[in-house]
Amino acid sequence: MTATPILEVVGVTKAFTQDGLTALALKGVSLSVSQGEFVSIVGRSGSGKSTFLSVLSTLLKPDAGQLNYQGRDLARASEAEINAIRHGDFAVIFQFHYLLPYLTALENTLLPFMRGLKPVTRAQKARAMQSLERVGLADKAHRLPGQLSGGEQQRVAIARALVKDARILFADEPTGSLDSATGGTVMELLKGIHGDGLSVVMVTHNEEYARLGDRVVRMEDGLVV
Ligand SMILES: Nc1ncnc2c1ncn2[C@@H]1O[C@H](COP(=O)(O)OP(=O)(O)OP(=O)(O)O)[C@@H](O)[C@H]1O
Ligand SMILES: [Mg+2]
């Protein structure tokens, strides 16, 4: 099968220096994600999964290697170029949802549109409501995170990640803080979103959830094995 890659990573390395000691978290990792593919990344704690996902999603700059996206190497692109792609095409969700506690579900979902002092438009609000509908939370749009269950909070984070029509969704242990029933609901939602045409790269400790993807990539000690 020869599918077009949407994102292609070649020989990425990343070292962290802490207290004068340097440790290589990524030792030359390569991965090609096809258009519309769902890739699961598994591996032991400390194997470099989160570091790798941060590099893939441009949150972290690699020391060496390439990150090819739409004919550009994002490892070498300008901050402005990277920002445009990160805010337009890439969506990221984490183990902890990072919702702002004093904003409603709807306001949290609108956050990606809030840049500078410009008020949000009616169209953006409608778009945020659609996004909340997509995750099954339209009826709870005006609740604060504290008035939602853990799974519902994670679904708001997904609605927020998707409000801008991303092309790739990066998820680092999206079910990590949830019980298994709630985790199952979030996984069903991610599968559905993938079914809508998004590419998904997900880090998980859960082998069963990993197998819901098209392909499982295993990391060990800073390498894909
Ligand atoms: N900001 C940092 N500063 C220093 N070392 C770091 C930093 N982030 C990660 N590391 C180190 O890099 C290695 C890989 O960490 P990473 O978080 O990528 O692992 P992981 O596979 O996501 O683990 P887990 O399953 O526990 O989340 C670890 O040895 C970790 O201690
Ligand atoms: Mg991690």
> Is the Cβ–Cβ distance between 104 and 144 less than 8 Å?
yes
Query: Domains plus CATH for the chain?
Result: 37-60+85-224 (3.40.50.300)
pLDDT truncated to tens, each residue of the chain (225 aa)?
Answer: 557 899 999 999 999 998 999 999 999 999 999 999 999 999 999 999 999 999 999 999 999 999 999 889 999 999 999 999 988 899 999 888 889 999 999 999 999 998 777 889 999 999 999 999 999 999 999 999 999 999 999 999 999 999 988 999 999 999 998 888 889 999 999 999 999 999 999 999 999 999 999 999 999 999 999
The DSSP secondary-structure symbol of 24 reads E
Å from CA of 120 to ligand 1 middle: 37
Ligand 1 atom 24: residue of nearest CA? 45
Ligand minimally distant from the alpha carbon of residue 46: 1
Ligand minimally distant from the alpha carbon of residue 45: 1
Q: Which residues pair with 93 in a beta bridge?
A: 171
Q: Which atom of ligand 1 is nearest to the CA of 48?
A: 18
Å from CA of 109 to ligand 2 middle: 24
- pLDDT the model gives residue 2: 58
DSSP run (H or E) holding 203: strand 199-203
> Is the Cβ–Cβ distance between 25 and 48 less than 8 Å?
yes
Å from CA of 92 to ligand 2 middle: 14
Which residues form the pocket of ligand 1, taking CB atoms under 6 Å from any ligand atom? 16, 18, 23, 25, 43, 45-51
- pLDDT the model gives residue 167: 95
> Is the Cβ–Cβ distance between 158 and 93 less than 8 Å?
yes
DSSP run (H or E) holding 55: helix 49-56
